[in-house]
Every structure is written in structure tokens, then in C-alpha cells.
Amino acid sequence: MSDQPAHAPYDALLLLSFGGPEGPEDVVPFLENVTRGRGIPRERLREVGQHYFLFGGVSPINDQNRELLAALREDLAAHGVDLPVYWGNRNWAPYLTDTLREMTAAGHRRVLTLTTSAYASYSGCRQYRENLADALATLTAEGLTPPRVDKLRHYFNHPGFVRPMVDATIAALGRLPDDVRAGARLAFTTHSIPTSAADASGPAEGHGDGGAYVAEHLDVARTVAAAVREETGTDRPWDLVYQSRSGAPHIPWLEPDICDHLETVHGEGAPAVVMVPIGFVSDHMEVTYDLDTEATAKAAELGLPVTRAATVGADPRFVAAVRDLVLERAASERGERPERCALGALGPSHDLCPVGCCPARAPRPAAAGADSPYAQGASTS
């Protein structure tokens, strides 16, 4: 036992992300990948394509993942954790299936996955697990024997994710004009999703309306707001609001939208707002367009001072948190009982998504969960 490395039984870490276009010619094929079979109106797609073209057809997300990948490799090596780190995406190169094929060829048998999504939801969790199942099925059909793949627990409430957001909120408050800072409201933002998807998210029991998705975001918002109050000595009103809605208008999605919210609080006399995108791991297009471009223009039109807090990105504390989560999970898999760090009221999330967690409209195979065909057979080997 004691001669095992701290990362045993895992032999590789996989960074699994969304992917984004890297030039104007990538934008349309990227959006086709994202929206295949999802019934997003054409009008919305044309509009979102324009967001990317506004930035030269390049999403910042791939460079941000390259930076995170390099930081993870450096941090693991510096701490004597000899675990190779790979990167694959759902919607753009390097594609997940190609990365897993490469990992199979390199002889990896137990892979742990970090997704760039911290919370429970179909889009942020199960859909990635479906992507893993699809990739494993493809490799199996090619006659390969792919590794067993597990997924790290949701890390929304890990101190290494939360603390950088506290500092980022305080820094964003610092960028407001002096005379409006004390009265500024905090608007915590995340991706809107259909209310039906929110209600069914996580193991939904005990979370009430909005399921685990809303409960987890509220817990983080409350924790960050309390820490900001403690550190600045000023109690500021806060709200959880939504952004980046898509889908047909007659289907209810989580509200209010950040732009409507800015209008409302401006009408109520708020002197300023700090937007804090707690739902996102890096400053990708949903942040740089939807908040920095669209919501910021809305605020300017209202004459409302706003700033936006940075996301965690490759903050060393987040990178260290990933190492902590990897070693924690490895220890759990070895039958040990490691300490499981978590701030807020909800406690550490489950390691293995239970059966039926974050259900899809049409059930499909999903890896790395209690209902996974791939995880089970391999676990006995």
C-alpha cells in the first residue's frame, strides 16, 4: 500500500472543456457542433456568430485552457505528483475522442477528468459525461480498449475556487468611482438554463425550485458576499442573476437576465453594480461578450457605473485546488477517508453522480456516474 503514489489508482488527468473557434472560418462549424440536435433558433445562431466575429472569430477559451493546462502540469510537477495531464474538448479541436485515443495509445488505464464547469446541471455535468461515453464507444468500436474514466466532484464550493472570486470582487469594487463604491450592489451571474433543467439538476431532492444548480450558485454567492462584507467592512445587497439565454422564447429559462436586472436596480436608485460571473471558470466569450460588451453597454445607456470581477482562470489557488481534489479522489478510490474541503452550507459534492442526476430530455449513455456502463465493468479489474 505505502509504495503507491499519492495519485494511485489514477494514471492520467484529463482537462475536459467546451472548445471555441480560433479564426473566422471556424465560427460556423463550431456553432454547428455546439447546437447539433438542440433546437436553437437560427436567428439566435446568427446573433451568437456575430459575437464571435466581433472578436475576429476567436474565442478566448482555448488559450485560457492552454494556460490552465500548463499551470496544472507545473503545479503537479512542483509537488511531486507524476500524473500526465491531457486536454480535450466537446466542440472544437483538440476533440475529446482524439485525446482519449491518444491516452489509450499511451497505455493509460484509469483517467480522472476535470471539467471546466463547477456546478451541477445537464450542460455542465451530464452532457460532458455523455461526451465521454460517446468517445469511449467510438474507441471501443475501433477495436481499442479505452481506459476507465472518472470525473472529479463539483468544485463550486472548494476554497480554491471561492477565494479568488472574493479577491476579484474586491478588486472590481476598487475600480468603481470612489463616491459610488460603498453603495454598490453585487450581481452574481451564471448561465441561464431552462427552468425545467434547473429543477431537475443534481440529485434534486432537498434543493427546492431550481434544483442543485440554483442552490449551489446561491451558496457560492452568499459565501462570496459574506467574505467581501467581512474584508471591506461594508454590507452590500446582492442578487443571483442570469445571462446568455438561448432557446425558444416560449420556453421558460432562469431569470432575471443581467441586463433587465441592471435596469431594475438602476430604477431603484442603486449607485453602481459589480458583476461577478461565479458560473464560469474563465473569462471566455460568454463573459467578454455578454457581460463586458452587452451588459456594460446597457449600463452605460442607463448611466449606471459597473465593473466586472475576473473569473478564477489559472489562479494558483484554483490550480492547487485541482491537485487537492485529484489527491482526495485518489485516496477515496483507495478506500481511505480524505479530508474534503468545502465552504458554504452545502458541503462537499458527491464523487459519483447518482442514477438520474441532471437528466437529459432523451436518455443517453453517460460515463463516470453510478448509471454508467463503462465505469462498472472496469472497476472490478
Ligand X SMILES: CC1=C(CCC(=O)O)c2cc3nc(cc4[nH]c(cc5[nH]c(cc1n2)c(C)c5CCC(=O)O)c(CCC(=O)O)c4C)C(CCC(=O)O)=C3C
Please enumerate, by residue number, every residue annotated as part of a binding site: 59, 128, 191, 286
Q: Using the rule CB under 6 A, which residue among 13, 184, 228, 285 binds ligand X?
A: 285
CB of 128 closer than 8 Å to CB of 26: no
Residues 6+ apart with CB under 8 A from 281: 116, 117, 118, 311, 312, 313
Map the footprint of ligand X across residues 17-36, applying CB under 6 A: 18, 20, 31, 34-35
Q: Using the rule CB under 6 A, which residue among 13, 16, 57, 59 binds ligand X?
A: 59
Of 282, 306, 310, 309, nearest to 294 by C-alpha is 306
Q: Check residue 246 for interaction with ligand X (CB under 6 A).
A: yes
Q: Using the rule CB under 6 A, which residue among 4, 23, 24, 38 binds ligand X?
A: 38
CB of 366 closer than 8 Å to CB of 132: yes
Applying CB under 6 A, which part among 78-86, 282-290, 306-314, 363-371 lies near ligand X? 282-290
Q: Check residue 294 for interaction with ligand X (CB under 6 A).
A: no
Query: What is the closest distance, in whole angstroms, from the C-beta atom of residue 195 to ligand X in the complex?
Result: 11
Query: What is the closest distance, in whole angstroms, from the C-beta atom of residue 285 to ligand X in the complex?
Result: 3
Encoded one letter per residue, x for contact with ligand X by CB under 6 A and - for no contact, window 1-20 reads -----------------x-x
Query: What is the closest distance, in whole angstroms, from the C-beta atom of residue 266 to ligand X in the complex?
Result: 26
Give backbone dihedrals phi and psi of 70, rounded to 5 degrees, phi first. Answer: -65, -40
Q: Check residue 243 for interaction with ligand X (CB under 6 A).
A: no
Query: Locate cell 471539467: which residue?
Result: 115
Query: What is the closest distance, in whole angstroms, from the C-beta atom of residue 151 to ligand X in the complex?
Result: 13
Q: Which residues are annotated as a binding site for Fe(2+)?
A: 191, 286
Residue nearest to ligand X (CB): 246
Applying CB under 6 A, which part among 100-108, 255-263, 281-289, 322-330 lies near ligand X? 281-289
**99/123 with CB nearer ligand X:** 123
Q: Using the rule CB under 6 A, which residue among 97, 121, 195, 223 binds ligand X?
A: 121
Applying CB under 6 A, which part among 40-48, 138-146, 150-158, 369-377 lies near ligand X? 40-48
Give backbone dihedrals phi and psi of 56, rounded to 5 degrees, phi first. Answer: 70, 20
**104/116 with CB nearer ligand X:** 116
Encoded one letter per residue, x for contact with ligand X by CB under 6 A and - for no contact, window 131-170 reads ----------------------------------------
Map the footprint of ligand X across residues 187-226, applying CB under 6 A: 191, 193
Query: What is the closest distance, in whole angstroms, from the C-beta atom of residue 164 to ligand X in the complex?
Result: 17
Residues 6+ apart with CB under 8 A from 275: 172, 187, 189, 258, 291, 295, 306, 307, 308, 309
Query: What is the closest distance, in whole angstroms, from the C-beta atom of residue 144 to ligand X in the complex?
Result: 27
Q: Which residues are annotated as a binding site for Fe-coproporphyrin III?
A: 59, 128
Size of the site for ligand X (CB under 6 A): 26
Q: Using the rule CB under 6 A, which residue among 61, 149, 187, 228 binds ligand X?
A: 61
**Residues in the site for ligand X, rule: CB under 6 A?**
18, 20, 31, 34-35, 38, 40, 44, 48, 59-61, 116-117, 121, 123-124, 191, 193, 244, 246-247, 279, 284-286
